[in-house]
Structure 1
Amino acid sequence: MTTQTTHPAAAFSGPIKEMTAAVAVLANLIARHPELPDAYIVIHAPFHKSPASFDLQLRNASAMEAWREALRINPLTVELHGRGAHSWVEATTTVHGFKVDISGHGVLLTPEQATEPRVKTPGPVVALATSPAAQTSAIGPAVTA
């Protein structure tokens, strides 16, 4: 019988203070747009050399659209994922240097839409409507922590 000494793997994450700037950006967005729908929020710690980021998961596509307009995300970048009752729309942007993913869940598709083949083609899979508010909404000044 042989023995072997093992050592725990190095941690990939640092102290929670590394998420301070992402939390400040999120707080700034909330302060600038208090009327926007609530969201399930996930803040991701920095990983290797990438900064912290956050996800805003909304109950439906309408709530996601409100956030998309406020963040001035191009509607042509919105993508449709999933099939049938488990479908959602998603878009990604950068706010003051932080990656922000927004998604609207519970997108209902017709049986025909749900069974259509999904082939990634150049351009968006689906585009949501835009409004003049998308052109004038501000995301606010940069936040430093």
Structure 2
Amino acid sequence: MDSLLPPIPAKRYFTIGEVGELCGVKPHVLRYWEQEFTQLRPVKRRGNRRYYQRHEVMMIRKIRGLLYDQGFTISGARNKLQELVQMDRELSRSTSFNDPLSVDSSDAELMDVADSQVSEAQGATQEQALGASFSIQEELLQIRDLLTIGGSHNQAII
């Protein structure tokens, strides 16, 4: 059924109406799902307007598939979604230890910030900007590795 849904455009935020069209779900259903699935936390701005990010749109599509296509109940879909999230975490942990250059979603957000800061630098050529972006990303990955090592070391001491 996912193949019948339109592709997700390359945008940072989506309104509840856009998400409804992208996922084939009415807005009132999305608001209900926010109460039932704790993973759905759209940003709320003025007037309580909801703005969903790409990962939330993808999660809504997963929820929709579980409920409508596979016949899960709300609680069954909630449990299945928690299993999938847990498997993703374990997979990303094993991948990040094996591949020091692998990127998880939090790293991607940090790298997006670094890229935007670099691109805003005035007078920098495109080559300079790419070089600066790469070095900042490298530093962020090193900091993450230090924090990961430090966090596990601190836990061992306690």
Question: TM tier, shorter chain?
Answer: under 0.3
Larger RCO of the pair (alpha carbons < 8 Å, separation 6+): 1
**More strand by proportion, 1 or 2?**
1
TM-score (norm 2): 0.26
